[in-house]
Chain A
Amino acid sequence: MTVSAAPRPRDLLTGTVRFCRLLRARGLAITPSESYDAVRALEVVDLGDRAEVHRALRTVLATRPEEFLVFDATFDAFWGGLATAPAPPGEMAAPDAPQVNAHFPRAKDAALDFSGWTDVGEGEGEPVGLPGVSDLDSTMGKDFSSFGAADLSEVERLAAQIARRLATRRSRRLKPSRRRGRVDLRRTVRLSLTRGELIDLARRERKIQKTKLVIFCDVSGSMDLYSRLLLQFLYAMQNNLGRMETFVFSTRLHRITEDLRHASYRGALARLGDVRDWSGGTKIGESLRAFNAGWPKLLDRDTVVIVLSDGWDTGEPAVLAEALRTMRRRAGKLIWLNPLLGSPDYQPLTQGMQAALPEVDAFLPAHNLESFRALARHLKP
């Protein structure tokens, strides 16, 4: 459908600028520079051909296919010649997820109570003692749900080991070095200019690539048995690995990176106790979506994302799949750890887990120390 007469130049300029502002209000990253390019683009296309104007503006103003939908809707609303003024910002936000009823049977929906966690060992029937070599083997295979005091130190030790390994991966980029690595011809030539003799071979070695970790831990009722140990593990990792961000979620997402940075585990738990809102069904998809919206710059190619959850999601599976897709595109690797995978007859049949499976790079168990050691292997490139 073509517009009958081409709009006048001044109208076009103001119109385009207003259109760009409207797009920005609806979430597209448009700076004055792009607005300027949009105006220039309109100068070199056939303004009487609406489809062409649409294509041209989209080429200039949209930067990814995900933006096409919003762009098209805004374009139609704005340039369609409607008498009504464009909707004010905020009205075109993505529709809220529909109210979801929890359909899944839940074993435990009770709120988490942190106060009981620091009383380790008493009345559990596990002997408190230093783990010997034989004890170690049995600890590695023991399911977290039956952990006692002695095993906690093993968790810490393993976490420290993993953190150290993560911090020392080598990347492909090269940096100058004194003794190791490949010969750096550039520096060698410069050094030899002054002496006329090749005395020193300058070298380059592979830079250490510092991996970043972003972990999402499900702390809802169904994960209760595992959450305790997992948080212990996360606490140990956080304090050994500089570049790590930790989030927990149940119905909402909470960033607990700072809370975990504490001299003692008890202290960290005390701080966590201040975080409310542990009850209710789990909304994994919503929480991850909130992360994508709230911390868009946190993920990059050097980041490994880990989601620790049993996959019982009371939200829409499509929301979860979409959120995971976005995260995977931004991050280097996306790993899903599921404590239920430890049991041999577990099948990922819940809608949440089914939606998530195709969107992750690795799906691994997380029910005992052995599985965490296996995790370390997956964290390498």
Chain B
Amino acid sequence: MREEIRQIQALMEGAAYITDPAISTAVHLATTLRKPLLVEGHAGVGKTEIAKVLARVRGTNLIRLQCYEGLDASTALYEWNYPKQILRIRLEERDERSVSDKEADIFSEAFLLKRPLLQAITQAERAPVLLIDEIDRADVEFESFLLEVLSDFQVTVPEIGTITAAHRPDVVLTSNRSRDLSDALRRRCLYLWIDYPSFEKEVRILRTKVPGLNERLAGQIARVMQNFRRRQLQKVPGVAESLDWGAALVALHADHLDAELVRETLGCVLKEVDDVKRIEADLAAGRLSELLEG
């Protein structure tokens, strides 16, 4: 294994993120080749975490752009502070200056509201990590716009001029695969698929992130989660749910699982009523042991 990748792995684990060679390699390539990294996977497997850990590891700012349907350029890039501008126009009404002078005044940096993408480009000290979260929720028009920004890291604000990034950010995009992303965006990025963790990995994650969780309980939780994911549930629980459950059990001072405890705390793991009913039926029929076996 390449030394740099080994180092990245060590650094990420040091920041309490249980990684694997695939993730470390992808992060290494993204930072070395200076390409954006597209991370896809089911909900709650740790996609967003990668960006956060990367920022922590490099000691740099994390700038987050949360995507949603209808997100457009102005909300992502910049917007003028209209109320402030209108007030200034009002105040200067009787001022004798020319229109172009007034215009230069109110269209200056003091009236510019920088949104995440522009923030990412105007970091003075060092390259930030730009997290574009849940890009699958935005629409195709936004993806095209994003591609333009990601190719040059250059933004033209007509009233001010062209702003070029002094330090190109490291870009991480996440997607829940709710919709297909455009091919153009996929080709532009390196691709990382994060699957649900294996049993061993999940145990490690639980023991690292939930202090006070003993080995036996961690193993039981992981075992149950693995079994849940093999079922045809409406909403498959991810690692986030495992961690919630672990924390809940620690708070209840539990040291092993029994049917009663599982039933009480099921809401930490299953969020759809049909799923809850199915598992409760299983527990009532005495099938806890099945859930606990590998």
Q: A45-B25, A65-B40 are contacts. A196–B187 as well, Cβ < 8 Å?
A: no
Given the complex, which residues of A lie within 8 Å of B33, measured CB to CB?
A: 37, 40-41, 44
Across the interface, A59 reaches (CB within 8 A) one of B83, B183, B192, namely: B192
Inter-chain contact B103/A196, CB cutoff 8 Å: no
Beta-carbon contacts under 8 Å, A349-381 to B: 358
Q: A172-B69, A193-B89, A329-B179 are contacts. A64–B186 as well, Cβ < 8 Å?
A: yes
Inter-chain contact B187/A29, CB cutoff 8 Å: yes
**Bound form: Cα–Cα A329–B187 in Å:** 18
Inter-chain contact A49/B1, CB cutoff 8 Å: yes
Inter-chain contact B191/A52, CB cutoff 8 Å: no
Between B25, B140, B177, the greatest number of chain A beta carbons within 10 A of the residue's beta carbon is seen for B25
Across the interface, B29 reaches (CB within 8 A) one of A41, A194, A196, namely: A41
Given the complex, which residues of A lie within 8 Å of B70, measured CB to CB?
A: 171-173
Inter-chain contact B193/A51, CB cutoff 8 Å: no
Interface size grouping (class) on chain B = 35 or more
Beta-carbon contacts under 8 Å, B39-85 to A: 40, 69-70, 72, 74, 80, 82-83, 85
Q: Does A146 contact B (CB under 8 A)?
A: no
Across the interface, B102 reaches (CB within 8 A) one of A68, A172, A193, namely: A193
Across the interface, A301 reaches (CB within 8 A) one of B83, B139, B186, B232, namely: B139
Q: Does A118 contact B (CB under 8 A)?
A: no
Given the complex, which residues of A lie within 8 Å of B191, measured CB to CB?
A: 58-60, 62-64
Beta-carbon contacts under 8 Å, A1-59 to B: 29, 31, 33-34, 37, 40-41, 44-46, 49, 51-52, 55-56, 58-59
Q: Does A289 contact B (CB under 8 A)?
A: no
Inter-chain contact B89/A329, CB cutoff 8 Å: no
Inter-chain contact A33/B82, CB cutoff 8 Å: no
**Bound form: Cα–Cα A123–B21 in Å:** 75
Given the complex, which residues of A lie within 8 Å of B103, measured CB to CB?
A: 193
Q: Does B5 contact A (CB under 8 A)?
A: yes
Q: Does B16 contact A (CB under 8 A)?
A: no
Beta-carbon contacts under 8 Å, A82-141 to B: none
Inter-chain contact A56/B183, CB cutoff 8 Å: no
Given the complex, which residues of B lie within 8 Å of A173, measured CB to CB?
A: 70, 72, 139, 141
Q: What's the minimum C-beta distance from B197 to chain A, rounded to whole angstroms?
A: 16
Inter-chain contact B25/A34, CB cutoff 8 Å: no
Inter-chain contact B187/A63, CB cutoff 8 Å: yes
Q: Does B240 contact A (CB under 8 A)?
A: no
Q: Does B99 contact A (CB under 8 A)?
A: yes
Given the complex, which residues of B lie within 8 Å of A58, measured CB to CB?
A: 191
Interface string of B75-105 (1 = CB under 8 A from A): 0000010110110010001000001001100
Given the complex, which residues of A lie within 8 Å of B256, measured CB to CB?
A: none
Q: Does A198 contact B (CB under 8 A)?
A: yes
The A interface is mostly helix, strand or loop, or mixed, namely: helix
Q: Does A275 contact B (CB under 8 A)?
A: no
Q: What's the minimum C-beta distance from A78 to chain B, rounded to whole angstroms?
A: 19
Inter-chain contact B140/A52, CB cutoff 8 Å: no
Q: A64-B186, A193-B103 are contacts. A51–B21 as well, Cβ < 8 Å?
A: yes
Q: What's the minimum C-beta distance from B196 to chain A, rounded to whole angstroms?
A: 13
**Bound form: Cα–Cα A63–B82 in Å:** 41
Given the complex, which residues of A lie within 8 Å of B82, measured CB to CB?
A: 185-186, 188-189
Q: What's the minimum C-beta distance from B219 to chain A, rounded to whole angstroms?
A: 28
Given the complex, which residues of B lie within 8 Å of A68, measured CB to CB?
A: 193
Q: A29-B183, A56-B29 are contacts. A186–B86 as well, Cβ < 8 Å?
A: no
Given the complex, which residues of B lie within 8 Å of A34, measured CB to CB?
A: 187
Given the complex, which residues of A lie within 8 Å of B93, measured CB to CB?
A: 196-197
**Bound form: Cα–Cα A330–B99 in Å:** 50
Across the interface, B89 reaches (CB within 8 A) one of A44, A49, A189, namely: A189
**Bound form: Cα–Cα A312–B103 in Å:** 69
Q: Does A300 contact B (CB under 8 A)?
A: yes
Q: Closest A-chain residue to B185, C-beta based?
A: A63
Interface string of A136-171 (1 = CB under 8 A from B): 000000000000000000000000000000000001
Q: What's the minimum C-beta distance from B170 to chain A, rounded to whole angstroms?
A: 15
Inter-chain contact A44/B86, CB cutoff 8 Å: no
Inter-chain contact A329/B177, CB cutoff 8 Å: yes
Q: Does B32 contact A (CB under 8 A)?
A: yes
Interface string of A216-253 (1 = CB under 8 A from B): 00000000000000000000000000000000000000
Between B4, B102, B139, the greatest number of chain A beta carbons within 10 A of the residue's beta carbon is seen for B139
Beta-carbon contacts under 8 Å, B212-254 to A: 232
Interface string of A186-222 (1 = CB under 8 A from B): 1011001110111000000000000000000000000
Inter-chain pairs besides A41-B29, A63-B183, A172-B70, 16 sampled, C-beta below 8 Å:
A45-B2, A46-B1, A55-B25, A56-B25, A58-B191, A59-B25, A59-B29, A60-B191, A64-B40, A65-B40, A172-B69, A185-B83, A192-B86, A192-B89, A301-B179, A358-B232
Sampled A-B contacts (15; CB under 8 Å): A37-B35, A44-B29, A45-B25, A45-B28, A52-B25, A59-B191, A60-B191, A63-B187, A64-B191, A173-B72, A186-B74, A189-B80, A193-B103, A196-B93, A301-B139
The 8 closest A-B pairs by CB, nearest first: A172-B70, A185-B82, A63-B186, A46-B2, A55-B25, A59-B26, A330-B180, A65-B193
